[in-house]
Structure 1
Amino acid sequence: MGKWTQTVTAKVLGIGALALLMTIPLLQVRELVSERQQLRSDAISQIAQGWGGKQVIGGPVLVVPTLRQVAVEGQLTPRWQTGSESVLADALKQDVAMVVTRRSYGIYSAPVFVATVKIAAQFRAQDVAQYRHAGDASWQGGKAELRLPIGDLRGLQEISELRVNGQPARFESSADRLGHWPTVVVPIDLDTLVDQPIDVQIVLKLAGTEALQLLPLARSTDVTMRAPWSDPGFIGAALPLEHSIDADGFSAHWHLLDLNRSYGQHWSDGDAGVRDALQASTFGVQLYQPVDVYQRNVRAGKYGLLFIAMTFVAFFLFEVLKRLRVHPVQYLLVGAALATFYVVLLALSEQIGFGPAYALAASAVVLMVGGYAMAVLRARRAGALLGGVLGLIYAMLYGLIAAEQYALLIGALVLLATVALMMYLTRRIDWYASIPTAAPASAEAPAAIMGGS
């Protein structure tokens, strides 16, 4: 049994066990990244509290109170039940111009915006008349409202224009909601607008954080949006029909019909599913941050075990092929240095960005492991070569992180090439043989150890 533990095979199994042991600090680093991500989310929430969160805005919706007689079991006289009917506009145009800046909370920052939103909505007289006489409910036209849903009212900075049929009007606060969102309302007397269309013009400024979405609250919805942000992410139920993106920002245009959504032009307050259907119909833009240091740290950590194993393999090959001896504790110290790389990378990337942080952290670990290898292997050339191999490994890791679309393909090819190289270099090793013991070599004779002349 004692003799078997000195074989090359036993050494490989021991190194494998040490590599698996290194998953413990790697998992701790991943938890640390998650903790820092949560701190960043909390910081963005703090920014949103004072500025306005992710915003949603729709067009005006005509909401009319109703009275309906309902029979009561055991009573001759029916009782009156209140409700409401909602009618959408025939045409809705929204023009959105965003001004984007950054707000910081501690070391964290988030993109915030102020959007100037111009809304023009038209309600057809025949639509209002059609729904007025539908069903058995009695419309209370004198108490009707135009409700405008806004995702976060804290971001409503200014209403510079509000006109109903050319006449100036004022929004009032309301406890009523449209779907998931609070609303501001304009009282309107439908009894004075019999057989007349309703034309609404609104210009307002809306502040928010990270994202702005819109609601297709009309038979035909036409939206144009522009902002000086060169990395937009188009999200939600509809992509723009056309868009342009350059270094100065983006512009986009959407056009949606009532046929593109799962709810109609009219519903009663008791209709089930309208609330969720409204939520599912939102569309718009997210101000994507391409340099997300936490996402890149997570991706780097996913390859941590692979690159620790590759470094251990490099040490093992030097040990076997050059007849050197490396103690398991020395493997463990090298693994600890490699695991420390991810902590240093996370700490630096929060302060100076991912690219510079990666270069500094990788350089520090390469110098540390390379210098340690010179002492362990008792050969400067061997240590320098291992440092170079480690530097190449970190360069490949950065390439994997940067190549978002092709990371899996590149990683698979690198892994295949690594296994093939290991098979080639170990093809003559007798795995049953004992590990040879070499006489100590001095640092002044690296050529003899490395096989040089």
Structure 2
Amino acid sequence: MENSKKPQTSKLWHWLKTSITARLLMVGFLVVVLLIPLSYINSLITERSIRQKDVVNEINDKWGQNVLVYGPILKIPYKTYTETKTYNEKTETYFKETQTHINYAYIFPETLHLDSNVTSKTLNRGNFESAVYTTQMTFNGEFSPIQLQQKNIKHEDIVWDKATIIIKTSNLKGIKSEVNLTLNNQTYSFSTNFNNDNQRYSERLDELESVYINENHLPKNSNKQFRFNLNYNGSKDIQIIPIGKTTTMTMTSNWPDPSFVGNFLPNSDTKKITKKGFKADWQVLHINRAFSQQYLNKIPNLNQFSFGTKFMVMVDEYQKSERSAKYGFLVIGLTFLVFFLIQTLSKITIHPFQYLMIGLALVMFYTLLVSISEHGTFLKAYLIAGISVVLLISWYSKSILGALKFPLFIGLSLTALYTFIYVIIQLESYALLVGSVGLFVILASVMFVSRKIDWDNN
């Protein structure tokens, strides 16, 4: 039995050594096999990324979530009447009964200005960190005289002594000071309104409501100025809804990489972004947004009209690692192609096991990248993982290929390939262009080198 197996094994090995077709099939099979550990590495990156998001959400939940706020809004109660007829059987007549109901009118301010000073920092838990901030927000503006007659509400039906002011906001947990509003030089305190019938129309926003406003301080016949402060611990983003007929906002921060989000962008002429932070100004007019200055009974959901700034890292280490791992098939395939061309042109024999060892070394690059990036920057991890793998494969190829020129060529090729992939990862707008040009150059190089191969020897 042993004698019968030996010739078959020798014949198979001789075919792998001498046939170009056999070597191509073997290399292709090993590339497919190595996709299995690559898929596990992608799963590992996804798992660590999800873990990071869970930790970040936990940190943000304890520190304070995102801030979305709009106000102040005058809440004016008014009377409405319904008339019912009741039939009296004894007298065989109808008598009328009038019932009084209390509804509310919501009045937005004529002008609204916000100054927001944001101080950002990072909080760490283990290997994970989250960007959080503390913001001091100062609102001021004025209400124009209340005119409800156009809504068919009579002046005598308005309950002036029960009027209040409300502020809609998220992140009640993050508010770090008492909320007091000054209206017509009189200060009014706020409390959380847990009996808000309109809560479902504001989604996740909670409501702060003031004590009753002195009737003499209400804008009945003249404009009334207001001012109040909100101090938050928050994360992710800060946004407001432009409920003023003219709404302006100025935001300053030490955050160097802001992302301006929402329905309106800041003024490009005054926007300044440096490594030490940014300053941005917004101006929104009532003709720029599709909602009214007055509402009866309920306030509709206006969240779609919000705007502001996002304070999150747009591309984190795990996103970069995931993008890098997507090129794993390309790295393994091109590296095997280099070895195949060297083997074919120089007639040097490379065993399938040696191909497998080289492929596993290439796969190890991604595990090193993910693990090291959790303890430092992505660039540092990429350099350490890349240099380690390039040196390892170059040293290993020296024992396989013998001559020094081949390991040097392989080392330079891998260095160029990893550099090319790193550049693509860093680019956003030009990633597709640079990637396409790079792959074209690689293909042209392979075509140029492979023209000398005698493909008839298969």
Same fold flag (TM > 0.5) = yes
- Structure with the greater alpha carbon radius of gyration: 2
Show CA shifts across 1:53-85 (max 9, x none). Answer: 111122211223455446789998676665433
Aligned partner (choices 362, 370, 380) of residue 394 of structure 2: 370
Aligned partner (choices 386, 392, 410) of residue 416 of structure 2: 392
Matching residue of 1:167:
186
Deviation (angstroms), 1:134: 4.4
Show CA shifts across 1:377-400 (max 9, x none). Answer: 244432232122212211211121
> Partner of 2:264: helix, strand, or coil?
coil
Aligned partners of 2:180 and 2:190 also within 8 Å: no
Separation of aligned partners in 1, 2:129 and 2:266 = 28
1:335-350 alignment runs, 5 A limit:
335-350=359-374
Identify which range, 319-328 or 76-85, moves more after superposition: 76-85
Matching residue of 1:244:
272
Q: 1:421 to 1:195 in 2, by over 3 A?
A: same
1:22 and 2:34 aligned: yes
Separation of aligned partners in 1, 2:156 and 2:448 = 84
1:118-267 alignment runs, 5 A limit:
118-125=138-145, 127-130=146-149, 133-134=152-153, 139-159=158-178, 162-175=181-194, 176=196, 177=199, 179-180=202-203, 181-189=205-213, 191-192=215-216, 193=218, 194-241=220-267, 242-267=270-295
1:415-426 alignment runs, 5 A limit:
415-426=439-450
Deviation (angstroms), 1:191: 4.9
Q: 1:143 to 1:330 in 2, by over 3 A?
A: farther
Structure 2: which amino acid aligns with 1:39?
Answer: R
Aligned partners of 2:149 and 2:155 also within 8 Å: no
Aligned CA RMSD, in angstroms, stands at 2.8
Show CA shifts across 1:291-342 (max 9, x none). Answer: 6212211221222211111111111111101111223332222222111211
Aligned partners of 1:68 and 1:137 also within 8 Å: no
Aligned partners of 1:120 and 1:199 also within 8 Å: yes
Structure 2: which amino acid aligns with 1:210?
Answer: K
Separation of aligned partners in 2, 1:135 and 1:13 = 89
Q: 1:112 to 1:227 in 2, by over 3 A?
A: same
1:50 and 2:70 aligned: no
Structure 1: which amino acid aligns with 2:183?
Answer: V
Identify which range, 346-355 or 374-383, moves more after superposition: 374-383
1:104 and 2:124 aligned: yes
Matching residue of 2:75:
63
> Partner of 2:105: helix, strand, or coil?
strand
Aligned partners of 2:82 and 2:99 also within 8 Å: yes
Unmatched 5+ stretches in structure 2: 1-10, 88-95
Q: 1:66 to 1:297 in 2, by over 3 A?
A: farther
Matching residue of 1:322:
346
Separation of aligned partners in 2, 1:11 and 1:137 = 96
Separation of aligned partners in 1, 2:223 and 2:214 = 10
Q: 1:100 to 1:72 in 2, by over 3 A?
A: farther
Q: 1:221 to 1:108 in 2, by over 3 A?
A: same
Structure 1: which amino acid aligns with 2:117?
Answer: A
Structure 1: which amino acid aligns with 2:61?
Answer: Q
Separation of aligned partners in 2, 1:216 and 1:18 = 60
Separation of aligned partners in 1, 2:86 and 2:45 = 65
Q: 1:137 to 1:25 in 2, by over 3 A?
A: farther
Separation of aligned partners in 1, 2:134 and 2:404 = 60
Separation of aligned partners in 1, 2:356 and 2:149 = 79
Structure 2: which amino acid aligns with 1:166?
Answer: N
Separation of aligned partners in 1, 2:110 and 2:239 = 20
Show CA shifts across 1:269-295 (max 9, x none). Answer: 457xx31xx111111111243662122
Structure 1: which amino acid aligns with 2:41?
Answer: V
Q: 1:80 to 1:419 in 2, by over 3 A?
A: farther
> Partner of 2:292: helix, strand, or coil?
coil
Structure 1: which amino acid aligns with 2:165?
Answer: L
Aligned partner (choices 9, 34, 51) of residue 39 of structure 1: 51
Show CA shifts across 1:391-443 (max 9, x none). Answer: 22112111212223222111111110111111111113232413xxxxxxxxx
> Partner of 1:238: helix, strand, or coil?
coil
Show CA shifts across 1:227-282 (max 9, x none). Answer: 112211111111001311122211010000112112111223457xx31xx11111
Separation of aligned partners in 2, 1:359 and 1:406 = 23
Separation of aligned partners in 1, 2:357 and 2:365 = 13
Aligned partners of 1:226 and 1:251 also within 8 Å: yes
Aligned partner (choices 359, 378, 385) of residue 383 of structure 2: 359
Q: 1:88 to 1:311 in 2, by over 3 A?
A: same
Structure 2: which amino acid aligns with 1:92?
Answer: L
1:412-451 alignment runs, 5 A limit:
412-434=436-458
Give aligned-pair identity as a percent: 28
Aligned partner (choices 85, 89, 112) of residue 105 of structure 2: 85
Identify which range, 297-306 or 169-178, moves more after superposition: 169-178
How many residues are paired up? 429
Identify which range, 306-315 or 39-48, moves more after superposition: 39-48
> Partner of 2:291: helix, strand, or coil?
coil
Aligned partners of 2:348 and 2:401 also within 8 Å: yes
Q: 1:27 to 1:66 in 2, by over 3 A?
A: farther
Show CA shifts across 1:118-148 (max 9, x none). Answer: 11131111x4444664499954443332111
- TM normalised by structure 2 equals 0.86
Aligned partners of 2:401 and 2:407 also within 8 Å: yes
